[in-house]
Chains A and B, each alone.
Chain A
Amino acid sequence: MKRAIAALPILVALIIGAFFLWGLNPDRDPSAIPSVLISQPAPEFDLPPVEGVGLPGLSRADLYGNPEPVVVNVFASWCVPCRAEHAVLTRMVERDGVRLFGINYKDKPDDARVWLEELGNPYERIGSDLDGRAGIEWGLSGVPETFIVAGDGTVLYRYVGPVVGAAAEKKFATALAQARSRDGGTS
């Protein structure tokens, strides 16, 4: 009994140490919000096209029955990091053959049109989410956010913030490769 009590402080120190190891890990982001969407079917939404862009709108139905995973990017012309991310997304589409859908979040159609004319348009479809309601359906906390949706409409991955920089792009590419092997395996 005495021995057991004597060992208690060591045990307590070990437990606290383990918490420190976990909590002080530089890779852990304490403000990261776990997404409820992951492994769930894509949420219900139906967005009209952005006026003047000449692309079809985006709805839940477009995310179902695709032969391969698609990437859904939430962007806005007023969002500065989106501008940096735009180049990365364009490269993904041109080099890796990614199918990219867009949700234009709380953006004036005219601004979005000018933005796309200036930077180029990598999107296959763009839905205009003027009041941000589709954003809520997606559990959005800000722009940009990028999702990978499997061919069967299951949301596989969510990236909060711009996919810019080697580390972020690598993370995203890994997730995309996993999504592709998953879809390739099941179909």
Chain B
Amino acid sequence: MNWKTLSAIVMLAVLPFTALAVEPDEILADPALEARAREISKDLRCVVCQNQDIDSSNAGVARDLRLLVRERLVAGDTDAEVIEFVRARYGDFVLLKPPFKPETYALWLTPAFLALFGTGIVIVVLRSGRKRQVAERLSDDDERVVAGMLAAEKGGTA
């Protein structure tokens, strides 16, 4: 495969990801504000098509929310204020990244807990395995028994 074919394949593969739901009439004139709006939109969940952010959703409500985000930005809100504005109306559900608070402790802490728990089990298992290997030599009693058995064996065959 030559270099040109490869780059063509890469470009075609990337193409679908550049498709946008943001319509031309929504885009703000100020590129800095527009960039912020895009970032905020990526963190907000569309309430109709629930596993999509509003930045890439074609749903009517998603469009309304995109326009709202831009309107708040133009009005001078900070990013956090815009997100809070939407959150106040749609709840934590619209945040694609759930906030860290008592109701979500289980969500955030379970992976860490499970990792610690698993590490603990691994350590316990490895330790007990090592203990079993400690018996490299027979005890004196065993040595005597084995010697006796060997002697009996020799006496029997000879």
A residues apposed to B, CB below 8 Å: 31, 33-36, 43, 106, 131-133, 135-142
Contacts and interface: CB of A to CB of B under 8 A. Distances in A.
Interface string B75-90: 0000000000000111
Interface string B58-77: 00110011001000000000
B47 interface: yes
Contacts of A138: 89
A138 B89 CA distance: 7
A185 to B, nearest CB: 28
B20 interface: no
A33 B91 contact: yes
A7 to B, nearest CB: 15
Contact of A142 (B61, B65, B68, B88): B61
Contacts of B89: 36, 43, 136-139
B145 interface: no
25 contacts: A31-B50, A33-B47, A33-B50, A34-B93, A35-B91, A36-B88, A36-B89, A36-B90, A36-B91, A43-B89, A106-B60, A131-B64, A132-B60, A133-B64, A135-B61, A136-B61, A136-B65, A136-B89, A139-B47, A139-B89, A139-B90, A139-B91, A140-B61, A141-B61, A142-B48
A152 to B, nearest CB: 21
Interface residues of B, number: 13
A136 B48 CA distance: 13
State the main secondary structure of chain A at its contact with B. Answer: loop
A142 B59 CA distance: 10
A139 B68 CA distance: 13
Contacts of A135: 61, 64
A36 B132 CA distance: 59
Contacts of A132: 60-61, 64
B144 to A, nearest CB: 33
A31 B48 CA distance: 9
A33 B93 contact: yes
Contacts of A139: 47, 89-91
Contacts of A34: 91, 93
Q: Which of B48, B64, B89, B91 has the most chain A CB within a 10 Å cutoff? A: B89
A41 B48 CA distance: 24
Nearest to A40: B88
Contacts of B90: 33, 36, 139
A133 B85 CA distance: 13
Nearest to B50: A31
Contacts of A31: 50
A43 B85 CA distance: 13
B115 to A, nearest CB: 16
Given A33-B47, A36-B88, A141-B47, A136 B93 contact: no
A106 B61 CA distance: 11
Interface in B131-147: none
Contacts of B60: 106, 132
A141 B65 contact: no
B34 to A, nearest CB: 21
A96 to B, nearest CB: 30
